[in-house]
Amino acid sequence: MTTDRGNILVVDDTPDNLRLLSVMLSEQGYKVRKALNGQTALKTIYQVPPDLILLDINMPSMNGYEVCKKLKKEAGIRDIPVIFISALDDVLDKVKAFEVGGVDYITKPFQAEEVIARIENQLIIQRQKKQLKQEIEERQKTEQTLRVYLHAVSHDLRNPVLGLSMVLQNLLKKNQEKKEGKIEVSWQILEQMSQSCDRQLNLINSLVETQQFEMGGISLNCRPLNLLTFSQQLAAEWEPILKEKQAKLQTIIPADLPLISGDSDRLWRVFENLLANALKHNDTGIKLTLKAEIIETNKSHFIRCILEDDGVGITPEQAANLFERYQRGNEAKKTLGLGLGLYLCRQIIEAHGGEIGVITQKNQGAKFWLTLPILEN
């Protein structure tokens, strides 16, 4: 037979036994390696772990029990099934074999059919364990992805909906004061409301593709993007929320800044998250500044954007894992949320080929930065 049915290590200090078992197993399609003592067996196992070990008990220097004990202490190899082969037929010997981690016990002299049957049985069990472990990991990954997705729906949709809601409430309030049946709405406000609705629809469409966060990466729809125009639109849409928080946003973006290749909807989510966090973790009346400049990194040109505020700042301890999943910023504010906003920001920026980080400045405000590649001509 030529089919490779598994990789088996045979450990026995008797050369005749090694040859017999090697021929027997090779004829059945198994790939066989041999070791004459425990020390050689351990080196072989560490180098290339086998699928199963046939292990003799009575060996000089290091017996089979000692070899098995050492194996079971190593994380990478402890799950390899060990079948003991021995002339010892005492019940206590068999019990000890199972106590040190053996999965089966074959007494010499053995029959070829019995050895093959016991080996195949353990390999089947091992394959089933691996399959079950893989299914559990995939299920956990799916559940994790679903949690990210549900958070993104509740977290990222909240900002544009809140802004649109505040615009409508202001219009209703003005109408109540005038006591008129009609509401006059400027073209600029209608345009902002329309753009906000478009962004919400685009966000919903992108969130439906849940696998983008953890399974296969984030898919981008990149186009040439002018950061000055982008920042002006962002500031205009966030004006109602900033006004409500008595906050001010200043944008310092050079008019001649090169274009970037970016997904405007994804990047909008990043900047919204950063703005929302600044307002959420600080008292009212903060000042925010959004800057952009060209930098050179490893002979490549990037645009670095910086959003800074004059709030309470961030300590090094808070910043250590800020962009990891389920991490929150200022716990003292007791804000709600799963701590996924900045994690998603990092995923989006890295998908663009950039980086994101924070400069710690306790009691001096927070300074978040991100880099985006310049659009190549």
Highest mean pLDDT among 62-66, 165-169, 327-331: 62-66
Cα–Cα dist 80/200, whole Å: 52
User: In terms of DSSP bridges, do strands 367-373 and 356-359 run parallel, antiparallel, or are they unpaired?
Assistant: antiparallel
Buried b (16+ CB within 10 A) or exposed e, 135-147: eeeeeeeeeebeb
Please tell me the least confidently modeled range out of 65-79, 156-170, 292-306.
156-170
Q: Is 134 exposed, middle or buried (0-12, 13-18, 19+ CB in 10 A)?
A: exposed
As a whole number, mean pLDDT of residues 137-143 equals 83
Higher pLDDT, 257 or 2: 257
Q: The domain 7-133: what is its CATH number?
A: 3.40.50.2300
Q: What's the rounded Cα separation, in Å, for the pair 348 and 266?
A: 7
Per-residue pLDDT, 328:
52
Mean pLDDT, rounded, for 110-121: 91
Helix residue ranges, H only, 48-186: 64-72, 91-99, 112-156, 158-178
Q: Which pLDDT belongs to residue 336? A: 36
Residue 368, pLDDT above cutoff 70: yes
Q: Where in the chain is the domain with CATH 3.40.50.2300?
A: 7-133
Q: What is the mean pLDDT of residues 51-76?
A: 92
Tell me what pLDDT residue 153 has: 65
State the span(s) of the chain assigned CATH 3.30.565.10: 213-373
Say whether pLDDT at 178 is over 70: no
Q: What is the pLDDT of residue 90?
A: 83
DSSP state string for 106-143: EESSPPHHHHHHHHHHHHHHHHHHHHHHHHHHHHHHHH
pLDDT in tens, 262-278: 999 889 989 988 998 89
DSSP 30: -
- Asked which of 84-98, 176-190, 281-295, 329-343 is least confident by mean pLDDT, the reply is 329-343
Residue keyed to tokens 């600044």: 278
Averaged pLDDT of the chain: 84
Q: What is the mean pLDDT of residues 215-226?
A: 80
pLDDT confidence of 179, banded at 50, 70, 90?
low
Structural tokens at position 61 = 């220097």
Q: How confident is the model at residue 1 (pLDDT cuts 50, 70, 90)?
A: very low
As a whole number of angstroms, the distance between CA 232 and CA 234 comes to 5
- Alpha-carbon distance 165 to 161, whole Å? 6
Which CATH fold would you assign to the domain 213-373?
A: Heat Shock Protein 90 (3.30.565)
